[in-house]
Structure 1
Amino acid sequence: MTSGTRAGRGPRVVLFDLDDTLVVTAEVKWAHHKAVARRFYGIDLTDAELALHWGKPFDAMIRALYRDSDTLERMREANLSLEEEFLKRPLPGAVEVVHELWRRSVGVGVVTSTNRLSALRDVERIGLRTDRLVLLQGADDSPHHKPDPRVFDAALATLSGRGVGVDDVWYVGDALIDLAAATGAGLRFVGVATGFHTREDFERAGAEHVLDDVRQLPDLLP
């Protein structure tokens, strides 16, 4: 369960969670949600409320955080209007790791609980070419959400159509819901302790591979 553990046959495709796996999110977006809630709806969000709803699909999360104070579309617009004040940034080494995977001819994709348009902007903003991704799936692209393993159904169907089987796909994420969804779908899971869950949390939950951060991922490759 250490960063030096070898994973046997290497992946043909690595799918990443986005938030707090490739980009710094909780630190930035908790402040963002607090600002939106206060400025538009007069709500003073607490860290406890944010922690309770963090990791939910984006639309469900903002409905809970902003307490259904407006239509979903208007709450999305309110959130978007302050986005430039609270931009996500890449986690150390994340961009370099993706480029290293591409250098080794490993496909890279993203399956995230963030809505698709926001995820595309996040990926482009940190300097990664979205046209090089094998796929990018946002929360609004699937009726299923982590920890439900069916969240991977569409992605795996896309990859299968390209001749990539489930045994050749790894999923990298920072949360226990990532672990549950990935292992339930038959994917090899790699945990990164850059979110709310520690190495010990992942190991207690049965994760085979746990890294301090995504920079150690190439060490797992054959």
Structure 2
Amino acid sequence: MSLRLAVFDVDGTLIDSRSSIFRAAVEAAHASNIDPPTYDQVRAIVGVSLFDALAMMRPDLDNETIAAYTHEFQQAFLRFHADPDFSEDLYLDAEETLRALKAEGWLIGMATGNSRRGVTRTVAKHGWDDLFDVTFCADDGPSKPHPHMLQRNLDALGVATHEAVMIGDASHDMKMARSACVRAVGVSWGFHTVEELQLAGAHDIVHDFTELKALLNDFNPEVLPEAKRASY
């Protein structure tokens, strides 16, 4: 009997962190004495591990400055989470969809550009210990769009590439899935546009969790996705 694995990105896919990530990027820039980024600059790099993401956004800066910017970004998020009034909402029906998939026998994995500390905090906050079979993040190896993080999900659960679906809001997620020969499902409600997801190789694009659940209901692990690999 075939297995079914749904691997989820977090920021922009399950959690609406658009405002907080942009705010952290701006506050960290001010603390690092560099020009603050625009929202479009920030949204383009979300999903990539933090140091690599900031280096991608600001190729004009040296490694020492990027390291300082990374530190200030992390400190900003620590301040946010220390504030009892701070919240990042789950997208509508995210929780219900995860729990429905679990009840139907799906394996559920995570592939996120967050740190392990961030993953632990998120899982604890939302009570997801019983939902995710495995979680892999930026601390576990090469950053998206390298396929390493997704491959770790597959290997840990003994799942073949054609038995898995990668679900994310960023082109980095789609390229990672393509590189791993896994079906790439883009969601339109996060950081990247539908056009960007299409250009990155998304097999499917959904516009809400109801549509995502319907797509996964029809998922046939015996039908191999197109084997085209994307560069990373």
C-alpha distance in 2, partners of 1:75/1:214? Answer: 34
What is the alpha-carbon distance in structure 2 between the residues aligned to residue 112 and residue 89 of structure 1?
17
> Bigger relative contact order, structure 1 or 2, given CA contacts below 8 A and separation 6+?
1
Cα gap change, 1:157/1:11 in structure 2, threshold over 3 Å: closer, same or farther? closer
Number of the residue aligned with 2:189:
194
One-letter identity of the residue aligned with 1:27: S
Give secondary structure in 1 for the equivalent of 2:66.
Answer: coil
Q: 1:12 aligns with which of 4, 7, 11?
A: 4
**CA, structure 1 residues 104+212, in 2 after alignment: closer, same or farther (shift >3 Å)?**
same
Partner AA of 2:109 in structure 1: G
Q: Does 1:165 align with 2:160?
A: yes
Cα distance in 1 for partners of 2:76, 2:177 equals: 29
2:224 aligned residue: none
Corresponding residue number in structure 1 for 2:36: 45
Q: Is the 8 A contact 1:13 1:109 kept in 2?
A: yes
Identity, in percent, stands at 24
What does the per-residue CA deviation read over 1:32-86, in whole Å, with 9 as the maximum and x for residues that have no partner?
2222333x334451215434543320233457779337496x5465234323255
TM-score, normalized by length of structure 1? 0.79
How far, CA to CA, are the matches of 2:192 and 2:67 in structure 1?
31
Contact 1:120 1:130 in 2 (8 A): no
How many correspondences in the alignment? 207
Please tell me whether the aligned partners of residues 55 and 113 of structure 1 are also in contact (alpha carbons under 8 angstroms): yes
Residue 129 (str. 1) matches residue 121 (str. 2): no
Distance in 2 between residues matched to 1:51 and 1:96, nearest whole Å = 26
Amino acid at match of 1:97: T
Instruction: Tell me, yes or no, if structure 1 residue 177 matches structure 2 residue 172.
Output: yes
Contact 1:17–1:174 (8 Å) recurs in 2:
yes
Q: Specify whether residues 119 and 97 from structure 1 end up closer, same or farther in structure 2 by C-alpha distance, changes over 3 A only.
A: same
Mapping for residues 68-217 of structure 1, pairs under 5 Å: 68=66, 70=68, 74-75=71-72, 78-84=75-81, 85=83, 87-125=87-125, 127-142=126-141, 144-160=142-158, 164-217=159-212
* Structure 1, gaps ≥5 residues long: 1-8
CA RMSD in angstroms, aligned pairs only = 2.8
The normalised TM-score by structure 2 is 0.76
